[in-house]
């Protein structure tokens, strides 16, 4: 969590930093701050969003061509002006911004307090800058060395930028466990949590690695490891384009991203499926073909929406690949003592590639000898670096905090993985694979058709917008869709929503049903159609309002339901890719009608780098 930006060069640092912080606000938005080198360090910070900081600093002098900024998602210390970053040393000489968590901050703080340090905030970050100050004062070290030595005492995760009054033309940056990118310009450098604040200035970037520390001047960059070995920087060219980071005429990023799905699903399949030959090409997994043929069990680990994608994969891998699959919340898995053998394959799913619990679960499974595959969206993020192999989802940057296109891209990749496994293990007939891949190729067009229901969905949203609760029901792959529909609604509209397997309704949720309880049912024509009809009857008998997602041309459910939303007819395997789309739109419109901040829902963040 938290977004950081640094700049040193010839431009106005404030402008670069503020623009960058807006791009990183998806990472946290409860307070923001900037430090500028202008004679000495000038600090501007405020609880609230980046725009609140801009208003606060509107009439203040913001000159300077060296600076750093931060947008926060609070961990230690409530969101307040005082706890906002940057934090400074006791003598005000040094300033720091930090993304991550310093786990041993309490011990360090106590030791520093005994030496007379007084703290102004409740944060772990402030402890680190006092530690650097203490090391400089007691050992007389230069700034770079003092930061390097201090980092040896830190347990936890960090991406930091440090400035000093005594070195006005220097930025020090370091990372361990939290992402950091350095943009390389002409006599200027940019630092950021991801490439989005950098892309409009330069395409040349260096992804700093764990335990690396950078000394940055306008015309000089030196990278060392924290154990003091010189590192050769690897400059990469960004594929990211500026248009990808803008709303492109949509009111919100979330809506833009919902509408991007026909394209993102297509991108995800590009060069990977060959319907005529019944072949799937997943370059990242090729060298694991033997392993996949002999695998006894697949364990899927993920959090949030990615976990829902994992549930879809469980159905598909078991159905087609005939391998037992277990789907685990990474946060639970890492704290159990799970039985894992060298024959197991673990698939870690993560949009950001940075989720702390997922990373820790991967490390644990790796230690126990499992082979780890990653399914990630953000290229160059941490998870792809720690997995043995993987498949990128190529959905492009997802900025709305509630995941939409990343989910359908994950499901697409996992569908390909299920078919790939089936092909390698010989558990699917070639003719069936040809048939499935041919249909899969049509899915982007079918998603396009799902989007055509938008105006009709607006009308339904109007009816539901004042509800206090909502139940989502589905069977088979409709169950993870129901979970995802409920999650979208609660995340962005703050309506309490639950997803349930339709048949489980009678074991509890049915007690909640009355005329005030809308029930969204995934009732498409598939193997459980008849059974879902019975569930709808049970809801109607108790006066619940039924909103049904149905296959186009449906008659039976349409007669019973209060509202229906049609989606095109498709193979059951592809139901999640289609049925999720109207639920995303429904949540979106309800949230807009309730006046909620759709792209930045309260208390949430897109990338959860704390456990
Ligand atoms: C946060 C985000 C969710 C996301 C989850 C897992 O809660 O708000 O949208 O599904 O983290 O993130 P990951 O990046 O690992 O998919």
Predicted confidence at residue 242, as pLDDT, reads 85
* CA of residue 3 to ligand 1 center, whole Å: 16
Q: What is the DSSP letter of 472?
A: E
156-164 and 31-38 beta bridge pairing:
unpaired
Establish whether residue 136 lines the binding site of ligand 1, counting it when its CB lies within 6 angstroms of any ligand atom: no
40-47 and 230-231 beta bridge pairing:
unpaired
Predicted confidence at residue 171, as pLDDT, reads 98
Q: How far apart are CA 465 and CA 366, in angstroms?
A: 46
Those residues whose C-beta lies under 8 Å from the C-beta of residue 597, and which sit 6 or more positions away, are none
Q: Where are the beta strands (DSSP E) in 238-370?
A: 273-274, 279-280, 298-302, 325-329, 345-350
Q: How far apart are CA 524 and CA 450, in angstroms?
A: 13
212-217 and 204-207 beta bridge pairing:
unpaired
pLDDT at 604 over 90: no
Place of tokens 């639920």: 583
**Averaged confidence pLDDT in the chain:** 95
Nearest CA to ligand 1 atom 8: 606
Nearest CA to ligand 1 atom 15: 350
Nearest CA to ligand 1 atom 4: 304
Place of tokens 């300033």: 95
Pocket test for ligand 1, best of 606, 609, 611 (most atoms within 8 A of CB): 606
Annotated catalytic residue, options 2, 268, 376, 450: 2
pLDDT band at 300 (very low <50, low <70, confident <90, very high): very high
pLDDT at 167 over 80: yes
Using only the alpha carbons of the chain, give its radius of gyration: 25
CATH 3.40.50.10490 intervals, the chain: 248-451, 452-600
Establish whether residue 352 lines the binding site of ligand 1, counting it when its CB lies within 6 angstroms of any ligand atom: yes
* CA of residue 397 to ligand 1 center, whole Å: 13
User: pTM, whole model, 2 decimals?
Assistant: 0.85
Establish whether residue 478 lines the binding site of ligand 1, counting it when its CB lies within 6 angstroms of any ligand atom: no
Those residues whose C-beta lies under 8 Å from the C-beta of residue 249, and which sit 6 or more positions away, are none
Those residues whose C-beta lies under 8 Å from the C-beta of residue 220, and which sit 6 or more positions away, are none
* CA of residue 305 to ligand 1 center, whole Å: 6
Pocket test for ligand 1, best of 300, 352, 353 (most atoms within 8 A of CB): 352
How many residues can be counted in the chain? Answer: 611
Predicted confidence at residue 253, as pLDDT, reads 95
Distances (CA, A) of 67 to 73, 148, 207, 342, 569: 21, 20, 20, 48, 55
Comparing 77 with 202, the larger pLDDT belongs to: 202
pLDDT at 381 over 90: no
Q: What average pLDDT score do residues 10-23 get?
A: 97
pLDDT at 70 over 80: yes
Q: Regarding the domain with residue range 248-451, which homologous superfamily does it belong to in the CATH classification?
A: Glucose-6-phosphate isomerase like protein; domain 1 (3.40.50.10490)
Q: What average pLDDT score do residues 172-200 get?
A: 95
- Indicate which atom in ligand 1 lies nearest the CA of residue 302: 15
Predicted confidence at residue 325, as pLDDT, reads 98
pLDDT band at 259 (very low <50, low <70, confident <90, very high): very high
- Indicate which atom in ligand 1 lies nearest the CA of residue 410: 16
Q: Which element (helix H / strand E) includes 577?
A: helix 575-593
Predicted confidence at residue 526, as pLDDT, reads 87
Let me know: does 269 contact 417? Beta carbons within 8 Å.
no
* CA of residue 338 to ligand 1 center, whole Å: 23
* CA of residue 471 to ligand 1 center, whole Å: 22
Predicted confidence at residue 365, as pLDDT, reads 97
Establish whether residue 306 lines the binding site of ligand 1, counting it when its CB lies within 6 angstroms of any ligand atom: yes
pLDDT at 312 over 90: yes
Beta bridge partners of 519: 471, 546
Those residues whose C-beta lies under 8 Å from the C-beta of residue 573, and which sit 6 or more positions away, are 316, 319, 320, 415, 436, 477
- Residue 484: which of 305, 353, 347 has the closest Cα? 305
Nearest CA to ligand 1 atom 1: 606
Predicted confidence at residue 114, as pLDDT, reads 97
CATH 3.60.20.10 intervals, the chain: 3-244
Q: How far apart are CA 321 and CA 419, in angstroms?
A: 7
Nearest CA to ligand 1 atom 5: 304
Predicted confidence at residue 606, as pLDDT, reads 81
Those residues whose C-beta lies under 8 Å from the C-beta of residue 559, and which sit 6 or more positions away, are none
Let me know: does 552 contact 450? Beta carbons within 8 Å.
no
Residue 2: active-site member:
yes
Fold of 452-600: Rossmann fold (3.40.50)
Pocket test for ligand 1, best of 27, 257, 303, 376 (most atoms within 8 A of CB): 303
Q: What average pLDDT score do residues 554-575 get?
A: 96
Strands in 87-88's sheet, in edge-to-edge order, are 87-88, 94-102, 156-164, 167-176, 212-217, 220-225, 230-231
Q: What average pLDDT score do residues 148-165 get?
A: 96
Q: What average pLDDT score do residues 515-530 get?
A: 92
Q: What average pLDDT score do residues 34-49 get?
A: 96
Predicted confidence at residue 379, as pLDDT, reads 82
Predicted confidence at residue 232, as pLDDT, reads 95
In the chain, the percentage of residues whose pLDDT exceeds 70 is 100
DSSP labels for 486-515?
HHHHHHHH--EEEEEEGGGGGGTGGGG-ST
- Indicate which atom in ligand 1 lies nearest the CA of residue 491: 8
pLDDT band at 88 (very low <50, low <70, confident <90, very high): very high
Q: What is the DSSP letter of 477?
A: T
Classify domain 3-244 by CATH number. Answer: 3.60.20.10
Q: How far apart are CA 606 and CA 62, in angstroms?
A: 30
Establish whether residue 412 lines the binding site of ligand 1, counting it when its CB lies within 6 angstroms of any ligand atom: no
Establish whether residue 604 lines the binding site of ligand 1, counting it when its CB lies within 6 angstroms of any ligand atom: yes
pLDDT at 527 over 90: no
Angle at 108 between CA 103 and CA 112, to 5 degrees: 155
- Indicate which atom in ligand 1 lies nearest the CA of residue 358: 15
Q: How far apart are CA 355 and CA 310, in angstroms?
A: 15
Q: What spatial distance separates the first Cα and last Cα of the chain, rounded to whole Å?
A: 11
* CA of residue 411 to ligand 1 center, whole Å: 15
* CA of residue 196 to ligand 1 center, whole Å: 18
Convert the pLDDT of each residue in 395-450 to its tens digit: 999 999 999 999 999 999 999 999 999 999 999 999 999 999 999 999 999 999 99
Distances (CA, A) of 454 to 30, 111, 466: 32, 59, 19
- Distance between alpha carbon 70 and the CA centroid of its chain, in Å? 18
- Indicate which atom in ligand 1 lies nearest the CA of residue 378: 14
Angle at 459 between CA 454 and CA 464, to 5 degrees: 115
CB atoms within 10 A of CB 543: 11
- Indicate which atom in ligand 1 lies nearest the CA of residue 352: 14
Predicted confidence at residue 77, as pLDDT, reads 81
Establish whether residue 329 lines the binding site of ligand 1, counting it when its CB lies within 6 angstroms of any ligand atom: no
Residue 559: active-site member:
no
Predicted confidence at residue 603, as pLDDT, reads 87
Beta bridge partners of 67: 7, 36
Distances (CA, A) of 110 to 119, 137, 290, 513: 11, 18, 54, 54
Establish whether residue 350 lines the binding site of ligand 1, counting it when its CB lies within 6 angstroms of any ligand atom: yes
């Amino acid at each position: 969590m938290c977004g950081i930006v640094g700049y040193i060069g010839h431009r106005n640092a404030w402008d670069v930093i503020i623009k960058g912080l807006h791009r990183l606000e998806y990472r946290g938005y409860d307070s923001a701050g900037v430090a500028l080198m202008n004679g000495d360090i000038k600090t501007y910070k405020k609880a609230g969003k980046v725009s609140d900081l801009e208003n606060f600093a509107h009439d203040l002098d913001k000159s300077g061509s060296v600076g750093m900024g931060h947008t926060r998602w609070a961990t230690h210390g409530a969101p307040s002006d005082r706890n906002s970053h940057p934090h400074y040393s006791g003598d005000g000489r040094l300033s720091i911004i930090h993304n991550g968590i310093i786990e041993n901050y309490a011990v360090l703080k106590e030791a520093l307090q005994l030496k007379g340090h007084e703290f102004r905030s409740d944060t772990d970050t402030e402890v680190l800058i006092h530690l650097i100050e203490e090391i400089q004062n007691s050992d007389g070290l230069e700034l770079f060395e003092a930061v390097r030595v201090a980092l040896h005492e830190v347990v936890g995760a960090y991406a930091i930028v440090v400035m000093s009054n005594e070195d006005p033309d220097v930025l020090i940056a370091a990372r361990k466990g939290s992402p950091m990118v350095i943009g390389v310009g002409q006599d200027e450098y940019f630092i950021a949590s991801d490439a989005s604040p950098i892309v409009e200035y330069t395409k040349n970037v260096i992804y700093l690695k764990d335990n690396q520390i950078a000394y940055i001047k306008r015309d000089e960059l030196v990278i060392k490891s924290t154990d003091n070995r010189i590192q050769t920087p690897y400059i990469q060219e960004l594929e990211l384009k500026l248009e990808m980071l803008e709303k492109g005429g949509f009111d919100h990023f979330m809506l833009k991203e919902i509408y991007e799905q026909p394209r993102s699903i297509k991108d995800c399949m590009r060069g990977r499926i060959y319907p005529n030959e019944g072949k799937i090409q997943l370059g990242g997994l090729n060298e694991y073909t033997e392993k996949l043929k002999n695998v006894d069990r697949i364990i899927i680990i993920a959090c949030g929406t990615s976990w829902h994608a994992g549930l879809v994969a469980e159905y598909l891998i078991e159905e087609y690949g005939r391998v037992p699959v277990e789907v685990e919340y990474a946060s639970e898995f890492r704290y159990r003592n799970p039985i894992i053998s060298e024959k197991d394959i673990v698939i870690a799913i993560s949009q950001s590639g940075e989720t702390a619990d997922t990373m820790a679960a991967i490390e644990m499974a790796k230690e126990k000898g499992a082979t780890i595959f990653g399914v990630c969206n953000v290229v160059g993020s941490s998870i792809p670096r720690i997995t043995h192999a993987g498949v990128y989802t190529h959905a492009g940057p997802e900025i709305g905090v509630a995941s939409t296109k990343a989910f359908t891209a994950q499901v697409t990749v996992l569908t390909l993985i299920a078919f790939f496994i089936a092909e390698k293990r010989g558990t699917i007939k070639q003719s069936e694979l040809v048939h499935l891949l041919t249909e899969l190729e049509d899915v982007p067009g079918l998603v396009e058709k799902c989007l055509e229901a938008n105006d009709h969905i607006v009308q339904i949203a109007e009816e539901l917008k004042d509800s206090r609760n909502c139940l989502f029901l589905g069977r088979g792959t409709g169950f993870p869709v129901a979970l995802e529909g409920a999650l979208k609604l609660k995340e962005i509209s703050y309506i309490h929503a639950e997803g349930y397997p339709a048949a489980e309704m009678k074991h509890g949720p049915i007690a909640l049903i009355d005329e005030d309880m809308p029930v969204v049912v995934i009732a498409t024509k598939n193997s459980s159609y008849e059974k879902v009809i019975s569930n709808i009857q049970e809801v109607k008998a108790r006066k619940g309002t039924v909103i049904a997602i149905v296959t186009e041309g449906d008659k039976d459910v349409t007669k019973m339901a209060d509202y229906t939303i049609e989606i095109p007819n498709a193979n059951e395997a592809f139901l999640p890719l289609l049925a999720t789309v109207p639920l995303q739109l429904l949540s979106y419109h309800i949230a807009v009608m309730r006046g909620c901040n759709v792209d930045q829902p309260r208390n949430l963040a897109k990338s959860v780098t704390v456990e």
